[in-house]
Amino acid sequence: MSASYRVFATRALPGAGFAELRQDPAFDLDVWPVDFPPAREELLQHVAGMDGLLCLITDTIDEAVLDAAGAQLKVVSQMAVGVDNVDVAACAARGIPVGNTPGVLTETTADMAWALILASARRVVEAAEYVKDGMWQTWTPTQMAGVDVFGSTLGIVGFGAIGQAIARRAQGFGMRVLCWNRTPRPDESAVVGAEQRAFDEVLSQSDFVCVSIALTNDTRNLINARAFELMKPSAILINTARGPIVDESALVRALQDGVIGGAGLDVTAVEPLAMDSPLLEMDNVVVLPHIGSASTATRGKMADMAVANLRAGLAGRPLPNSVGD
Ligand code: GLV
């Protein structure tokens, strides 16, 4: 039987769904063979003539890519919840649905926000390096003393599913939780015991400010120099959403000048973060390589969802999960 669908996958995905796709004679699958994303020219070449595109957050899917693909392209399926790298409006204008993978990564990503809260507050990474570097000579009353998480105030910027999951975990830490969302979410905040506040108030009253909002033109640089000025000098910024929501130069200055107390970042403005970034020289900053949803189980579920979206789009069915639903 000859293949009916040509698909370019910009990387091999984990999970059973992708393994099945590889075996399915109905698919002619071109899988980018290495873990680095295809360069722009390579993406433009490989997408040509494809019916479906399976992509990741590292791939820029814009008009040029859609043009290069051709009019037969039926679906763009991304293995991620965030799709700021995809020109969704351009896809919509061509009638191409864009699939994403919400829900399955909510709890895993909230766990990571908490890993960063605890690591930043209690200097976990710094202390582990101290031991590895042979610096641990004795016990002293103030050695590696950090700040308390228990009983402090958590501010959540963006109260969608992940923000709510972060808030739920705060109950066990006896925290006051403040939240802000562009569209107020009174029911959801009541369920997790969070208080809805104005944006400025969340910033000024919180000990930890967690960014948990989608990157759009409206949220780019939302956390800027003005926002840092509003925050407590001891406040710790946590970002598990997207790097460009934070003005990174302003963040560096705020940390250098003691305007805020520290940061735990799973995401940076440009990824990977340049090795000469001042952020990497600061003891009060933890930077992780965008691994918020990276548990083996969750990444498998995300991949399966992306494959299910792809299959539906190719078959002309509504996607189980598409952007704008
Ligand atoms: C990862 O960052 C995602 O958006 O799923």
pLDDT of residue 233: 98
Render pLDDT for 259-293 as a digit per residue (tens, 0 to 9): 999 999 999 999 999 999 999 999 999 999 999 99
pLDDT of residue 325: 64
Query: In this structure, how many other beta carbons lie within 10 angstroms of the beta carbon of residue 95?
Result: 8
What is the 84 CA–ligand 1 centroid distance (Å)?
10
User: Which two tokens mark 235?
Assistant: 């406040």
Closest residue to atom 3 of ligand 1, CA basis: 80
What is the 51 CA–ligand 1 centroid distance (Å)?
24
Contact 184, 237 (CB under 8 A): no
CB-defined site of ligand 1, < 6 Å: 57, 80-82, 105, 292-293
Q: Which of 86, 92, 102 is nearest to 43 (CA)?
A: 86
Q: Which residues of the chain have pLDDT under 50?
A: none
- Which atom of ligand 1 sits closest to the CA of residue 290? 2
Kindly provide the b/e burial profile for residues 126-140, where b requires at least 16 CB atoms within 10 angstroms of the residue's own CB: bbeeeeeeeeeeeee
Proportion of the chain above pLDDT 70, given as a percent: 99
Which residues neighbour 85 within 8 Å (Cβ) at sequence distance 6 or greater?
55, 57, 58, 59, 60, 61, 78
Render pLDDT for 106-138 as a digit per residue (tens, 0 to 9): 999 999 999 999 999 999 999 999 999 999 999
Contact 40, 325 (CB under 8 A): no
Q: Which of 242, 248, 299, 311 is catalytic?
A: 242
* Strand pairing category for 236-239 and 208-211: parallel
pLDDT of residue 2: 63
Tokens 């649905």 found at: 97
pLDDT of residue 228: 99
Q: How far, CA to CA in Å, does 276 sit from each of 238, 268, 272, 292?
A: 21, 13, 11, 23
Q: Which of 42, 63, 229, 271 is catalytic?
A: 271
pLDDT of residue 148: 98
Q: Is 168 an annotated catalytic residue? A: no
pLDDT of residue 324: 77
Rounded to whole angstroms, the Cα distance separating 100 from 322 reads 6
| Cα first-last separation, the chain | 35
Render pLDDT for 151-167 as a digit per residue (tens, 0 to 9): 999 999 999 999 999 99
